[in-house]
Amino acid sequence: MTYFIGIDSSTTATKALLMTADGAVVGAASSSYNYETPQPLWSEQRPELWWDATVSSIQQVLAESGVAATAVKGIGLTGQMHGLVLLDKNGDVLRPAILWNDQRTGAECDEMRTKVGKQRLIDITGNDALTGFTAPKILWVKNNEPEIYAQIDQILLPKDYVRFKLTGGYATDKAGGAGTQLFDVRRRDWSVELLEALEINPDWLPKTFEGTAVTGTLNTAAAETTGLPAGIPVVGGGGDQAANAVGTGAVVDGIVALSLGTSGVVFASSDEPIVEENGRLHAFCHAAPGKWHLMGVMLSAAGSLRWFHDTLAPDTSYDDLLAPAAAVPPGSEGLLFLPYLTGERTPHPDPLARGAFVGLTVRHTQAHMARAVIEGVAFGLRDSFELMKNAGLPPITQIRASGGGTKSALWRQILADVLQAEIVTINTAEGAAYGAAILAAVGTGVFESVEAACEQLIHVTGRTKVSGDTAVYDQIYPLYRQLYPALKPTFNAAAKLA
């Protein structure tokens, strides 16, 4: 039997997943760690934590599965995107990595817009400048830690530091590279124009590879540390959302991945590069070779229901909380919920946006409020779908849903009706690590393409079709859309009071 390992280095843990050549998951192990917030808005992590956790998880999954290390024939990498890892000429870490959720770089985002021009920035990279991306983090180090900046010899993303420790070489995948905002998204490589405008040395950036390309092999030191044999191919892999899309089969036009976790992510594959003209959607290269994707992110999806539960019904199970909501008519009898409890990203990149119930009357009960919450999240996700449609995305034929929120049959039905597309569940639930393992299997020749692998390995297990409630939600959605513009001045004023 041939096996492949998918390694996912997330913000809180590194997971190693062991997959057979026919797609069966035979084991998974995870090693956790913390990140630091040394100042307000800062978020940092020591890269050594990812490597230690990678070693531990590989050793654990091999031991628990009983699989011989010699049977592993490929490794795929994925992990948190946008983080900044700086190495010196000896390959030593210069400072803790600045993570994707770090918010210190507002001034550097403005600097990028000034030096490049906002519209030109969107045209080249597919995105407006955001504090989470890698490029403004580089400028922050230049502006605030010149002694560190002067020692830079290599810039890597988090998962690519793990790659460096595995292979001894510097490389990144094109999906991850696009997330740095230093990429020409259409050319699928570093933008010379941007690097010159921002005065970033191109020699600091690694060579880029498609997600299935072999970027190196396991070196002797890593083999001795992990217990794997030297020489195992390590493929490009992809950022966590791109790898998760591979793991759910969202690699062809028409199939969209919807993740309904604490945050909500809408991920749509495309055979052509599509850029939303105002940069309100993320436009990146896909981990599937020669493909691109659009992505919308809302910050409080299932997190909104968790807040409602924990605040108003902490002693009630989620099932009992939502059961009465199924008897409430669509639209919750005029009650609307705005799910911006932690600010928002798509379609309103506004950290000061706030949540709200609008339309409350004495007729409304807890059941009305619960239904309004999940309807509001569905409307928030529809915002991303509308942007994608208007940007020119091919028609959506199927939405593959994952995440804790999709366990609710009521929520799946509301999503189908609000988004006007069939919601399906699939046979895989391992996410990005599974996608990374698939990329390794394709890269080592088990499958001829990512599309072929997904078609063979990923199957629909449940379907929720659109019901007759679509017309009702079509009437309510424009009312939902009016809430943010009307309340934005209030949000801004309230933030100053807070």
> Are residues 286 and 251 in contact, defined by beta-carbon separation less than 8 angstroms?
yes
* Residue listed under structure tokens 């009960």: 365
Count the alpha carbons within 13 Å of 181 in the hemisphere toward its beta carbon. Answer: 30
Going from the C-alpha of 360 to that of each of 51, 476, 485, the distances in angstroms are 51, 15, 19
* Residue listed under structure tokens 């990512």: 450
| Residues 6+ away with beta carbon under 8 Å from 144 | none
- Residue 257 has phi, psi (to 5 degrees) of -95, 130
183: left (phi over 0), alpha (psi -120 to 50) or beta: beta
Query: Residue 116, SS3?
Result: helix
Query: Residue 27, SS3?
Result: strand
Query: Residue 183, SS3?
Result: strand
Q: Which pair of structure tokens corresponds to residue 494?
A: 């309230």
Query: Residue 269, SS3?
Result: strand
> Are residues 421 and 254 in contact, defined by beta-carbon separation less than 8 angstroms?
no
Element (H, E) at 477: helix 470-497
Query: Residue 340, SS3?
Result: coil
Rg (CA), the chain: 22
Sign of CA dihedral 278, 276, 263, 409: positive
Element (H, E) at 337: strand 336-338
**Residues designated as active site:** 240
| Residues 6+ away with beta carbon under 8 Å from 102 | 41, 42, 43, 44, 131, 132, 137
| Residues 6+ away with beta carbon under 8 Å from 335 | 357, 358, 359, 360, 361, 364, 368, 369, 372
Strands (E), 10-71: 13-20, 25-32, 44-45
> Are residues 130 and 103 in contact, defined by beta-carbon separation less than 8 angstroms?
no
